[in-house]
Structure 1
Amino acid sequence: MDSLLSLVARLGRTTLDLIRAAGSLALFALEGLSHIFRPPFYGRVFFSTFQETGFFSLPVVALTALFSGGVIALQSYTGFAQYHAQNAIAGIVVLAVTRELGPVLAGLMVAGRVGAAIAAQLGTMRVTDQIDALSTLSTHPMKYLVAPRLLAGLVALPLLVFIADILGVAGGFTVCVMKLGFSPHAYITATLNSLKIADVTVGLVKAALFGFLISLMGCYYGYNSKGGAEGVGSATTAAVVTASILLLAFDYLLTDLFFSQ
């Protein structure tokens, strides 16, 4: 009986901790968003983070999209050739890339690269009391550190995903034409016939949300880190893991919302 009560108490404490953490994160996000729309706006911080998130993440996102499109084409051919349905490969590639793989793979790459960097930057500032120093200089830490980074993630990731969509389709085209012997004209025609603006738009909406979540997790764990260098390391790990999990969870929810009909 005592062990059962202990188990129930432990579950209760865990549930309360999760609710408390979710509430704290929601309040943090709302406060960060509110500062985006209130002056002053620190453009230098925004453009620096935008450059880090967008431009410097472009090589890894581009390579990931290019090879992923090629792999989809190759695997689709392996399966569809059994049913003489090779003509559907172009449609499968453009559908998979624009709806799912473009936003998800770009988001995961950026989460591992930029989310970790944001958490490390803010975590280091927290444990060295630089964030407290901003308050003494009449600079609101949320406005200076968090709001520009949230906006940068919100804007930069859709641009990355748009480029990833193009390169993913190009990867499928390259494999099908160079390796599988498809006609370039026929493949491009099939791709254009299968391409839907709605699929691209939903992918970009996903990307905007993913960019916000990645920046939010990096800012939240970095801003609230403690315990010196070990705490910064823990915050960095938690930011990447949590952002990746939320990204996949929201990907499912948005897919169910837009495509379950």
Structure 2
Amino acid sequence: MKNSVVHNPMFFLNLFGKKFLNTLQSFGKISLFLVFSVAGIFTKKQLKNILRHVYYIGVRSISIVILVGLFTGMVLGLQLYYTLVKFGSTGVLGSAIGLTLVRELGPVLTAIMVTARAGSAMTTEIGIQRITEQIDALFTMGVNPRRYLVSPRLAASVISFPILTALFDLVGFLGGYLTGVVLLGLDSGAYFYRLQSSITLVDLNGGFIKSVVFALIVSTACCYNGYYTHLRADSFGAKAVGLSTTTAVVVSCVWILISDYVVTSFLM
């Protein structure tokens, strides 16, 4: 019986088809979730909620963004210096650091850091509200839970991510300056000249486009997993909230990297 199942091609076809349909259904649900959440932004009395979440997602993430940005710039300066010195091209250190931060590392690392700090909190908070039936209570009182809980977080993420990315880039430039100029003795004028001349408006726009895409991915994935915590088949209650949070962070980070490649391929 076992061998007949293994050698039956229809068994594997049915298994693959089921997985494919489940994945397609999940993408459809997430897409509708995003569309309805975006539509909920443009309703009355949302400004106060949006500003409250901008403070939580954006302002309270400044310290970790500054810390990571500073040491990222310092590490880049150190590694790139000892690579460029082999070719006698240490004068272009500013260009290398600037383009690396603006095009790639700034948006990506900012999104990952905010996912770890604010995204996980979004999933946990909404998940707890779901399992304690607070979301059901909102629906009973005639309040749209998605518009009240998800839409402000989505708008706040779109506002906060580009600002945090710009801050990350600026602090990263400073970190590269500390390593390249202060520690390794490069000329400060050459560093800033290369930094300024190499970064164009196209590079800046590309980085900000990525940050907006990452904001949509992170806020949608985290809110979606929290909102539908009660539908998890592998657990329930507090354990479901923990698993939903883990899933949201992992999925967000994976899709940040995937979308980074996709957006880069379109912008190149």
TM-score, normalised via structure 2 length: 0.93
Q: Distance in 1 between matches of 2:146 and 2:129?
A: 13
Matched, 1:129 2:133: yes
Q: Distance in 2 between matches of 1:224 and 1:148?
A: 18
- How far residue 72 of structure 1 moved from its aligned partner, in angstroms, is 1.1
User: Which residue does the alignment assign to 1:33?
Assistant: 38
Q: 2:248 aligns with which of 231, 234, 239?
A: 239
Q: Secondary structure at the match of 1:234?
A: helix
- How far residue 43 of structure 1 moved from its aligned partner, in angstroms, is 2.8
Q: Superposition pairs for residues 13-28 of structure 1, below 5 Å?
A: 13-28=18-33
Q: Distance in 2 between matches of 1:193 and 1:47?
A: 36
User: Which residue does the alignment assign to 1:218?
Assistant: 222
CA contact 2:92–2:191 (8 Å) conserved in 1: no
- How far residue 44 of structure 1 moved from its aligned partner, in angstroms, is 3.0
CA contact 2:123–2:223 (8 Å) conserved in 1: yes
Q: Superposition pairs for residues 179-258 of structure 1, below 5 Å?
A: 179-226=183-230, 227-258=236-267
- How far residue 110 of structure 1 moved from its aligned partner, in angstroms, is 0.6
CA contact 2:180–2:186 (8 Å) conserved in 1: yes
Q: Superposition pairs for residues 83-94 of structure 1, below 5 Å?
A: 83-94=87-98
- CA deviations 1:125-144 (Å, max 9, x no partner) are 00000001011212111111
User: Which residue does the alignment assign to 2:172?
Assistant: 168
Q: Distance in 2 between matches of 1:215 and 1:107?
A: 10
Q: How many residues align?
A: 258
Q: Secondary structure at the match of 1:57?
A: helix
Q: What residue identity is the alignment partner of 1:198?
A: V
Q: What residue identity is the alignment partner of 2:128?
A: T
Q: Distance in 1 between matches of 2:52 and 2:134?
A: 19
- How far residue 148 of structure 1 moved from its aligned partner, in angstroms, is 0.6
Q: Superposition pairs for residues 27-176 of structure 1, below 5 Å?
A: 27-37=32-42, 39-176=43-180
**Any stretches of 5+ residues in structure 2 without a counterpart?**
231-235
Q: What residue identity is the alignment partner of 2:149?
A: L
Q: Distance in 2 between matches of 1:60 and 1:111?
A: 12
CA contact 2:221–2:248 (8 Å) conserved in 1: yes
Q: What residue identity is the alignment partner of 2:156?
A: A
TM-score, normalised via structure 1 length: 0.96
- How far residue 18 of structure 1 moved from its aligned partner, in angstroms, is 0.6
Q: Identity percentage over the alignment?
A: 32
